[in-house]
Structure 1
Amino acid sequence: MARWLVISDNHGDREILPDLRRKLRPDVTFHCGDSEMTADDPWFLAPNTYVVRGNMDIDDGFPLALTPKIDGAQVLLTHGHRDAVHWDLTKLQLHAEAVQADAVFFGHTHELAVEMTGGRLYLNPGSISQPRGEFRTLGGTCALVTVTPEQWLVQYYTRDGRPVTRLKFSFERPQKG
């Protein structure tokens, strides 16, 4: 069992990042872009941390997408702006198929979302600093994904590290073989 923190769109609000890592104690951290920080920031250089460039990031030291294999799962990490996630998930789904992703983490819309489609987990943690949409009154969100061989357990948290009880989801992981 592993705990993955998925965060996005902090837009220069650096102080929130170490606070969440300290409170939620993930094994792996994914940042979906629009940090508006530099790629050499010590927070990004911590072990088991993956980060991509968003449309507001000017440091080209960040890759546009990453596809690490972690805990037996192929992950696609992207910001989403190049996959037109504001319109629908079609381009993102094609990108996920191309890299044979099991889990897809993206941001850009500032709206949290999670679904299992075509045997893949698609997760947007929402913006930790500038939330939009139905859950904007929470003041910012991130997601903690507990990974087991059988399931993805997704729990959303507020920026102060409190779980949002109504935003807890469990998805069965397709068995390969």
Structure 2
Amino acid sequence: MKVLIMSDSHGLTKEIADIVNRHKNEVEFMFHCGDSELSAKSTELKSFQGVKGNCDFGSDLPNELLIDVSGISLYLTHGHLYNVKSTLMNLKYRALELNAKIACYGHSHIAGAELIDEILFINPGSIRLPVLRKQKTYVILEVVGTKANIMFYDVNGKMIEDMSEQFTLT
């Protein structure tokens, strides 16, 4: 099972369309972690399940989603309501409340993935305004059994090897 995850596209349309077209035949789901600054009904977001970010004014998207992905509970939120720029503790507690094994979020524009207390946290970074890296990033998550492969890509579709890694879900 493969999932495309992006966040913080802040009004971009061509780049989203390019990414969707590049991966539409290889992923089962596409998730947007908020701050698209586009209407939930926009052409660019029609392939995505998504949440509202702090810059998505007037959006009717939900603040959070809990999605069953091939038997794994995946939690999706933007992160601003959980203070993710300072700590992942609040997000961890929410993921624990929901019994989520994977928590996807954005807001900080800092790409990364880490396993904390058996929860896999994924921030795909930003395809518009990255922080701490030059590359504008998104993620493809591939889950095979208990293995979760996180592959970071730049906005042009080139895999970023030094960021990509494998985790074991329990």
Normalising by the smaller structure, the TM-score range is over 0.9
Q: Report if aligned partners of 1:75, 1:105 keep a CA contact under 8 Å in 2.
A: yes
Distance, in Å, in 2 between the alignment partners of 1:121 and 1:43 is: 27
Matches within 5 A, 1:66-145: 66-133=65-132, 135=133, 137-138=134-135, 140-145=136-141
Letter in 1 for 2:74: V
Q: Report if aligned partners of 1:116, 1:171 keep a CA contact under 8 Å in 2.
A: yes
How far off its partner does 1:45 sit? 2.7
Residue of structure 2 equivalent to 1:32: 33
Secondary structure at the counterpart of residue 81 of structure 2:
helix
Does 1:168 pair with 2:164?
yes
Distance, in Å, in 2 between the alignment partners of 1:50 and 1:83 is: 20
Residue of structure 2 equivalent to 1:44: 45
Q: CA RMSD in A?
A: 1.0
Q: Report if aligned partners of 2:112, 2:163 keep a CA contact under 8 Å in 1.
A: no
Q: Show structure 1 runs of 4+ deviating over 4 A.
A: none
Deviations 1:86-141 (A, max 9, x none): 111011001101111011000000111110111111000001111011x2x22x00
Matches within 5 A, 1:13-28: 13-25=12-24, 26-28=27-29
**Number of residue pairs matched?**
168
How far off its partner does 1:157 sit? 0.1
Distance, in Å, in 1 between the alignment partners of 2:59 and 2:12 is: 19
**TM-score, normalization: structure 2?**
0.95
**TM-score, normalization: structure 1?**
0.91
Secondary structure at the counterpart of residue 165 of structure 1:
coil
Letter in 1 for 2:21: R
Distance, in Å, in 2 between the alignment partners of 1:97 and 1:21 is: 31
Distance, in Å, in 1 between the alignment partners of 2:58 and 2:70 is: 29
Distance, in Å, in 2 between the alignment partners of 1:15 and 1:63 is: 24
How far off its partner does 1:167 sit? 1.4
Q: Report if aligned partners of 1:24, 1:161 keep a CA contact under 8 Å in 2.
A: no
Letter in 2 for 1:22: N
Distance, in Å, in 1 between the alignment partners of 2:43 and 2:8 is: 18
Residue of structure 2 equivalent to 1:149: 145
Letter in 2 for 1:100: N
Identity %: 28
Distance, in Å, in 2 between the alignment partners of 1:38 and 1:3 is: 25
Which 5+ residue runs of structure 2 have no aligned equivalent?
none
